[in-house]
Amino acid sequence: MKILGVDPAISVTGFGLIQTDGDKISLINCGKVSTHSQTPFSKRLEKIYDSLLRLVKRHKPSYVVVEKIYSHYKHPTTAYYLGQVQGLIYLICGKKGIPLVEYNSTRIKKAITGKGNASKLQVQRMVEYLLSLEKDIQYPDISDALSVAVAHAYIMKTQRDNFKF
């Protein structure tokens, strides 16, 4: 099964695509879609949409997974921008018939490290280890996207294992 994790943002949207086969998880592709702050907002959204749509069409993931939006009350504009990008992801999933799953950050951290309050660096290192990556993930946006994909794989496996008789 292929799982696409996406870390939505207007400046840098990270993505990570993994393949699961039983207990084995492997990396298919990861990267980021960057937009420039001087580009009109609508064009920035268009670039993110087009890039993610191409990715989905090419790889046909079974699931798309994102972290639930959280923005500090002092930064409502951040939530607004994140919501705009997340709306694009929902649209792509709806048009392509792909289930979209959201998890709280603490659920993602717990699935990967066993601790809901793990640091970003702990999560990143564990993702690198679980995917047997030879080098460090260079961008936090990519690490975050991979972490939601890997977390979903583990959560689904746990649910499957718990329902076996």
Helix (H, G, I), strand (E, B) or coil at 113: helix
DSSP class of residue 88?
H
Q: Which residue in 21, 46, 50, 67 is the catalytic one?
A: 67
User: How much is the pTM?
Assistant: 0.93
Is 67 a known active-site residue? yes
Kindly tell me if the per-residue pLDDT of 10 is higher than 70. Answer: yes
Mean pLDDT score of the chain: 92
Kindly tell me if the per-residue pLDDT of 37 is higher than 80. Answer: yes
Q: Which residue in 23, 134, 136, 141 is the catalytic one?
A: 141
CATH number of 61's domain: 3.30.420.10
Q: Percentage of residues in the chain with pLDDT exceeding 90? A: 81
DSSP class of residue 68?
P
Q: Which of 1-5, 27-31, 76-80, 88-92 has the lowest mean pLDDT?
A: 76-80
Is 50 a known active-site residue? no
Domain count of the fold of the chain: 1
CA distance 24 to 17: 14
How big, in percent rounded to 5, are the helix, strand and coil portions of the chain?
Answer: 50, 20, 30
Q: What pLDDT does 68 receive?
A: 86
Kindly tell me if the per-residue pLDDT of 165 is higher than 70. Answer: no
Q: Which residue in 7, 23, 46, 128 is the catalytic one?
A: 7
Q: What pLDDT does 163 receive?
A: 56
Is 128 a known active-site residue? no
CA distance 10 to 18: 23
Give me the domain span that covers residue 149. Answer: 2-162
Q: What pLDDT does 77 receive?
A: 84
Q: Give the 3-state secondary structure of 122-164.
A: HHHHHHHHHCCCCCCCCCHHHHHHHHHHHHHHHHHHHHHHHCC
In terms of DSSP bridges, do strands 2-7 and 63-67 run parallel, antiparallel, or are they unpaired? parallel
Instruction: Compute the average pLDDT of residues 117-142.
Output: 93
Using pLDDT thresholds of 50, 70 and 90, give the confidence band for residue 161.
Answer: low
- Written as six digits, the tokens of 146 are 């991979």
Q: Which of 27-36, 62-71, 93-102, 107-116 has the lowest mean pLDDT?
A: 62-71
